[in-house]
Amino acid sequence: MSGLDQALEGVLARLDAEREAALSRLFQLLRFESISTDPDYATDCRQTAEWLATELSGIGFDASVRVTSGHPMVVGHAEGPDGAPHLLFYGHYDVQPVDPLEYWNTPPFEPAVEVREDGSQLIRARGASDDKGQLMTFVEACRAWREETGALPCSVTVLFEGEEESGSPSLVPFLEAHREELTCDLAMVCDTGMWDADTPAISVTLRGLMGDEVIVKAASRDLHSGGYGGPATNPIRVLSKILAGLHDDQGRVTLPGFYDGVVEPSPEIKAQWDALPFDAEQFLGSVQLSHPAGEADRSVLEQLWSRPTMEFNGVTGGYTGQGFKTVLPAQASAKISCRLVGDQDPEAIRTAWRAYVRENLPTDCEVEFFPHGGAPGTVLPYESPSYEAARGALTAEWGADAAFVGCGGSIPIVGYFQEILGMDSLMVGFALEDDAIHSPNEKYELKSFQTGARSWARILAALAARS
Amino acid sequence: MSGLDQALEGVLARLDAEREAALSRLFQLLRFESISTDPDYATDCRQTAEWLATELSGIGFDASVRVTSGHPMVVGHAEGPDGAPHLLFYGHYDVQPVDPLEYWNTPPFEPAVEVREDGSQLIRARGASDDKGQLMTFVEACRAWREETGALPCSVTVLFEGEEESGSPSLVPFLEAHREELTCDLAMVCDTGMWDADTPAISVTLRGLMGDEVIVKAASRDLHSGGYGGPATNPIRVLSKILAGLHDDQGRVTLPGFYDGVVEPSPEIKAQWDALPFDAEQFLGSVQLSHPAGEADRSVLEQLWSRPTMEFNGVTGGYTGQGFKTVLPAQASAKISCRLVGDQDPEAIRTAWRAYVRENLPTDCEVEFFPHGGAPGTVLPYESPSYEAARGALTAEWGADAAFVGCGGSIPIVGYFQEILGMDSLMVGFALEDDAIHSPNEKYELKSFQTGARSWARILAALAARS
């Protein structure tokens, strides 16, 4: 047994012994109401960042809260042995809004452990899975390495962001301004999921994102539908026609040029995906759906991992309170987003979408747009040795072959790390499909938290062993 | 000069002398936040009813607040001379919600008089025009008759409702339960407008209303668009397609059977309408519109007065707060309403609309409906002597020929008075197109209030003279 292997045994034993304390620290983090998209929670976000910096300092990181024009970043550095790889770990401490609050069974910011009939346990809270629970798996792995051996086996820089759920407006300027400080050999991003509850996964493709908001304006004020109904243009009617025209009856997006740059996955990846035991019926059935709504000629896994989408995330106009109001509203608005793959260009698609809206706008309407982030899709170099080393560590910890999988979501940071810092990302995470991230009653498996921390302890050793 | 004419001179002089006191009473009424559609304002509604009953008692009415299953009614009786006609005056003391509050230039429940550069004055407040200012024109006319002559020239029953803006759920049961108490020779309804600022009008056709709310439900919870975008059915997309399919590109409603029962106006009425100086460009231009959005082969006046509509009054789904949330919502909903004419059957149209929604619903969606009122359109017996008497009184007061006009709005009470009490309604009101009823910055012309009160004083005399 090498010295590194021996040290790892001690680190894993320490993680097992310190489980209660680790959970209590996670609960502290979960109690912060760090909703980044809503300015009312700015103070909560700052306090969360301060708490994280203090935690990192306590385990030997040179850590600080960095002011941005939005919510702050947390950066920490811990040096490893000479010649060991230098790794950047990224996570985000901000969370999604909690509405509709009435769908929550417990208060979203009062974390609790729930025990199922089969004895398995879960951590219930907003952010438990996305991303506070995930980022704490890495922090706890570092703590155990530090406390057991006095140092980390690799040099580690930590970057925690507070705007991931609100389009990351400060991220690119921050990366550009701190290129030297943040450029490492490899990034590690913990914002993805397991293949299933027993099978760990490394995400090797990601969909990109183009988000946009449109406001359609008609009359100069809200009108009474008795006095104006008929001749007055109704912006809800206009917006409905615009949204309704974006998909054909085969589920394809009709926007001209939308599919430009879409790349089919490589035969190797496609073969791996085909071999994965995926039950589309069960996947949809878990949220009470049964009929795939994407492109009719594509499998559900393709619809999720390798095909782009155009989705409507929010729509509002007119009177939406209790009761009824016979109003013709002055305006109606929608928030839309596209998931992008391959070489689709987010800005070209934003331009095409806006042009389509303008072309379909009646004379009596005006339109305003607000951009909400854009990032292209990503394919990572999964054939390189670091990825194989991490896959080996995960397989050893979980006792099941780790899978290279696609990810339907967008993790723009991975694209930025490539573009700005010239760094690939190893995406490992322990979330499950049913974690209800972005939804009421979000949870994280207690096993994800505990075995996740052990997984990172092993990955650090495996990457160190390659040096 | 007859005794009645002489009395009327005194009554009119008294109204002129008591203008300040009348305005101060109206301001008291306008300060009540009697928003009937929102249960939070139930106490305000009750207090408004109590204030009105007290006012009526103060001018000789036997008045009381009547409990209903919703907001209360106010009923008052004042006996006139033997043989004089018995009139029922109807108004409503509830008001529309005030959102969007940020569009108001002054607080909606703090009434104020504003003076324009040309010296004309207006009363600014929610309900100033719809319907508190209007109903007080009649109360002030009664007060002046009573104070000047000791009695009213006709027997008068007053009925003030508190649920007109929220579908009048208690009205029909109340009318049915008080048939004997409320049946008179003629009803007078003050909830309509002038033809223009100088020309009074009597509304002789009204559009009916069918209001409905639909909730389209898809997945059992809100979903992350990264994890489910593509295969998961998006209820905003479904709802948009449903709403977009309800009008063809000529502005016609596509619902099967929708136009069944639509009746063209009589040649007499059509000739009168054609003779009215109506500037469609200016009408639409006053709210920054320019292109009629209704049926392409109909004039704007027809679109407003004699053609039915299908309008969308509110739509909501997904994340509608500040910022962005990449959610696939569990549901989306819309409030719709149809303006109806002639013999269109509101319940048949509700059935057709619901059937259309169900036919266009994908397998993965469920739907729920909530009815929001229904009433057919109305044509009144404008050739009868009472209407001519009222027209004469209005013409005398305003110095301009009063017009028999159509009304694009729905005043369901007129239909109920016909059906339940067998009584026609004389619809006289002093609102103007630009009063912004149901909108921010609602106003009522001070002249409408003052000359309106004088108009009712004259109408009471004219109807009494016919006896």
Q: Which residues of A touch B300 (CB under 8 A)?
A: 230-231
Nearest residue of B to residue A245 by CA position? Answer: B241
Q: Residue B210: is its pLDDT beyond 70?
A: yes
CB pairs under 8 A between A and B: 356
Percentage of chain A surpassing pLDDT 70? 100
Whether B321 sits inside 8 A of A292 (CB atoms) is: no
E-strand ranges in A162-272 read 186-189, 201-206, 208-217, 223-224
Q: Per the structure block, which two tokens stand in for A31?
A: 């109690």
For chain B, give me the number of helices (H) and strands (E)? 15, 18
pLDDT, tens digit, 9 for 90 and up, residues B68-126: 999 999 999 999 999 999 999 999 999 999 998 999 999 999 999 999 999 999 999 99
Q: Residue A158: is its pLDDT beyond 70?
A: yes
Q: Which residues of A touch B337 (CB under 8 A)?
A: 225, 324, 326
Q: Which residues of A touch B215 (CB under 8 A)?
A: none
A392 pLDDT tier (thresholds 50, 70, 90):
very high
> CA A197, CA A398: separation in Å to the nearest integer?
10
Of B227, B328, B363, the CB nearest to A291: B363
Asked if residue B30 lies in contact with residue B132, where contact means CB atoms within 8 angstroms, the answer is yes
For B352-357, the CB contacts below 8 A with 24+ separation are B352/B255, B352/B256, B352/B257, B352/B258, B353/B210, B353/B212, B353/B255, B353/B310, B354/B212, B354/B214, B356/B242, B356/B245, B356/B246, B356/B255, B356/B256, B357/B214, B357/B216, B357/B242
The residues near A252 (Cβ < 8 Å, ≥ 6 apart) are: A295
Whether A226 sits inside 8 A of B321 (CB atoms) is: no
Closest CA to A460 of A20, A89, A136: A89
A280 pLDDT tier (thresholds 50, 70, 90):
very high
Residue of B37, B130, B228, B238 to mutate for A, most A C-beta atoms under 10 A: B228
Stretch B308-327: mean pLDDT: 94
HEC string of B172-228 equals HHHHHHCHHHHCCCEEEECCCECCECCECEEEEEECEEEEEEEEEECCCCCEEHHHH
Asked if residue A430 lies in contact with residue A193, where contact means CB atoms within 8 angstroms, the answer is yes
Question: Which residue reads 């040290």 in tokens?
Answer: A7
Confidence (pLDDT) at B1: 62
Stretch A408-431: mean pLDDT: 91
Confidence (pLDDT) at A383: 83
Exposed, middle or buried: residue A284 (CB in 10 Å: 0-12, 13-18, 19+)? buried
Which position has the higher pLDDT, A256 or A2? A256
Q: How close is the nearest chain B Cα to the Cα of A39, in Å? A: 9
Confidence (pLDDT) at B467: 63
Nearest residue of B to residue A323 by CA position? Answer: B37
- DSSP H helices in A183-327: 225-228, 235-244, 267-275, 280-285, 300-305
Asked if residue B201 lies in contact with residue B403, where contact means CB atoms within 8 angstroms, the answer is yes
pLDDT, tens digit, 9 for 90 and up, residues B326-341: 899 999 999 999 999 9
DSSP string, B112-160: EEEE-TTS-EEEESTTTTTTHHHHHHHHHHHHHHHHHHSS-SSEEEEEE
pTM: 0.74
Of A220, A313, A322, the CB nearest to B287: A220
Stretch B437-461: mean pLDDT: 97
Whether B38 sits inside 8 A of A337 (CB atoms) is: no
**Mean confidence (pLDDT) of chain A:** 94
Interface pTM, i.e. ipTM: 0.74
Whether A313 sits inside 8 A of B319 (CB atoms) is: yes
> CA A136, CA A142: separation in Å to the nearest integer?
10
Whether B231 sits inside 8 A of A97 (CB atoms) is: no
Cα atoms in the Cβ-side hemisphere of radius 13 Å centred on A94: 27
Whether B244 sits inside 8 A of A247 (CB atoms) is: no
> CA A216, CA A354: separation in Å to the nearest integer?
12
Whether B287 sits inside 8 A of A321 (CB atoms) is: no
Amino acid letter at B415?
Answer: G
Nearest residue of A to residue B193 by CA position? Answer: A227
Whether B97 sits inside 8 A of A334 (CB atoms) is: no
Q: Per the structure block, which two tokens stand in for B279?
A: 């500037």
Q: Which residues of B touch A295 (CB under 8 A)?
A: 230
DSSP string, B375-439: E--EE--TTSHHHHHHHHHHHHHHTS--EEEEESS--HHHHHHHHHH---EEEE--B-GGG-TTS
Amino acid letter at B336?
Answer: I
Whether A300 sits inside 8 A of B245 (CB atoms) is: no
Q: Which residues of A touch B292 (CB under 8 A)?
A: 230-231
Confidence (pLDDT) at A227: 84
Asked if residue B164 lies in contact with residue B36, where contact means CB atoms within 8 angstroms, the answer is yes
Of A36, A324, A409, the CB nearest to B227: A409
Asked if residue B356 lies in contact with residue B209, where contact means CB atoms within 8 angstroms, the answer is no
* Other residues' Cβ atoms within 10 Å of the Cβ of residue B279: 10
For chain A, give me the number of helices (H) and strands (E)? 15, 18
Whether B234 sits inside 8 A of A304 (CB atoms) is: no
Q: Average the pLDDT over each of A29-43, A263-277, A300-314, B216-230 and give the range with the smallest value.
A: A263-277
pLDDT, tens digit, 9 for 90 and up, residues B262-281: 988 888 778 878 888 889 99
> CA A351, CA A355: separation in Å to the nearest integer?
6
The residues near B445 (Cβ < 8 Å, ≥ 6 apart) are: B120, B121, B122, B123, B197, B430, B432, B435
Nearest residue of B to residue A334 by CA position? Answer: B320
φ and ψ at B342, to 5 degrees?
Answer: 55, -130
Of A225, A323, A372, the CB nearest to B311: A225
Stretch B439-467: mean pLDDT: 95
Stretch A252-256: mean pLDDT: 97
* Other residues' Cβ atoms within 10 Å of the Cβ of residue B248: 11
Q: Which residues of B touch A243 (CB under 8 A)?
A: 236-237, 240, 244
Whether A363 sits inside 8 A of B97 (CB atoms) is: no
Of B229, B316, B324, the CB nearest to A335: B324
Confidence (pLDDT) at A455: 98
Confidence (pLDDT) at A226: 85
Question: Which residue reads 């999964």 in tokens?
Answer: A382
Stretch B6-24: mean pLDDT: 97
CA dihedral B250, B252, B253, B259 (to 10 degrees): -160
Q: Which residues of A touch B283 (CB under 8 A)?
A: 231
SS3 state at A135: helix
